[in-house]
Amino acid sequence: MWFDSWSDVVRVLLVGPASYLTVVLVLRASGKRTLSKLNAFDLVVTVALGSTLATIFLSKDVSWAEGAAALAVLALLQLLVATLSSRVPVARSVVTSRPALLLRDGRFLTEALRSARLTEAEVRQAVRGSGSGDLSTIAAVVLESDGSLSVIPAEQAGDRSALSDVRPQG
């Protein structure tokens, strides 16, 4: 349990840095999206990359070459899905959720909150985090497709064209 063999330790010391370098190269090659704020699909790919890296590090049954191939396949699949979702609207709707309006003109949209499984307290926290202490001065709070909350103050709402793709209440 505490120690099996020196060969296992040496394997981790040799394969570990090679695997780490490989994942860094794969992430750099796959583009900024892999490292940006995550939607659900990107999160799954990131977790899979981490799991694969751990398996390469610790499993004697997986060679570095097999692990590197697995990392490359995950990155290529992520690139394929990202490309499709940016060009085919139906693919985008499968991979990412649409933004949802949670608060409009200082008033909570109860059905939208319920649907998003968020509380008024969580929205208030986002409003406070934006530097505002008065809900009546907020034009909109949007639950973005990456799970973050965007707060738009009324004085910066303009014609509200930035809200054109935001799902209405319910």
- Residue spans per domain, the chain: 6-94, 100-163
Whole-number pLDDT of residue 65: 92
Give backbone dihedrals phi and psi of 168, rounded to 5 degrees, phi first. -70, 175
How far is the C-alpha of 109 from the C-alpha of 115, rounded, in Å? 10
pLDDT for 27 beyond 80:
no
Whole-number pLDDT of residue 170: 46
Average pLDDT on 135-156 reads 92
Give the tens place of pLDDT for each residue, 85-141.
889 888 877 777 789 999 999 999 999 999 999 999 999 999 999 999 999 999 999
Category of 105 on φ-ψ map: left (φ > 0), alpha (ψ -120 to 50) or beta:
left
How far is the C-alpha of 118 from the C-alpha of 100, rounded, in Å? 11
Give the tens place of pLDDT for each residue, 63-74.
999 999 999 998
User: Would the pTM count as exceeding 0.75?
Assistant: no
Judge: domain 100-163, CATH 3.20.20.140.
no
- Asked whether 62 and 55 are in contact (CB, 8 A), the reply is yes
Q: What percent of the chain has pLDDT over 90?
A: 41
